[in-house]
Structure 1
Amino acid sequence: MKNKLPEYRKKYNLSQDKLAEMLGVTRQTIISIEKGKYNPSLPLALKIARIFHATVEDIFLLDEDG
């Protein structure tokens, strides 16, 4: 799954550390999500979307090629 998390994070001026703290996860989790190495659970994806006043679909894109 592809995502626009880095763009949203920068738009809201949030560091990986700060976002991780807000979500109750580690910075490593944020890094893994941003690199596409880890797909967040639905509850975590919803929390991320809520922080950025966006929909899950705005941030996370299904990789149609995979």
Structure 2
Amino acid sequence: MPIRTRLVNARKQAGLTQEQLALEAKISRAYLSNIEKGKHTPSLEVAKKISDALKKSIEDIFFEIDVRKTHIK
């Protein structure tokens, strides 16, 4: 699932508008909107602020982990 989808889903699950999340994360609403649209990639600092405001781990929102099943004989 793309970062932007995970971010929008997490924001909506938290019951926050873009404006509310932007205020919590101390970033502009326009910048948050561009992150959600996939137009900007947040710095690690901004990603941490957003994840903290959403009470989620930074990994849950901003890092895509590809786990593949392996078969061991």
Identity %: 37
1:45 maps to which of 47, 51, 73: 47
TM-score normalised by the chain length of structure 1: 0.80
Q: Deviations over 1:10-29 (max 9, x none)?
A: 00000000111111111111
CA distance in 2, matches of 1:52, 1:18: 11
How big is the shift at 1:61? 3.9
Alignment of 1:23 onto 2:1:
no
Say which structure, 1 or 2, has more relative contact order (CA 8 Å, 6+ apart).
1
Structure 1 portions without partners, runs of 5+? none
How big is the shift at 1:50? 1.6
Structure 2 portions without partners, runs of 5+? 67-73
TM-score normalised by the chain length of structure 2: 0.74
Q: Deviations over 1:20-48 (max 9, x none)?
A: 11111111111100011101110111111
The number of residues matched between the two structures is 62
Higher strand share: 1
1:36 maps to which of 35, 38, 42: 38
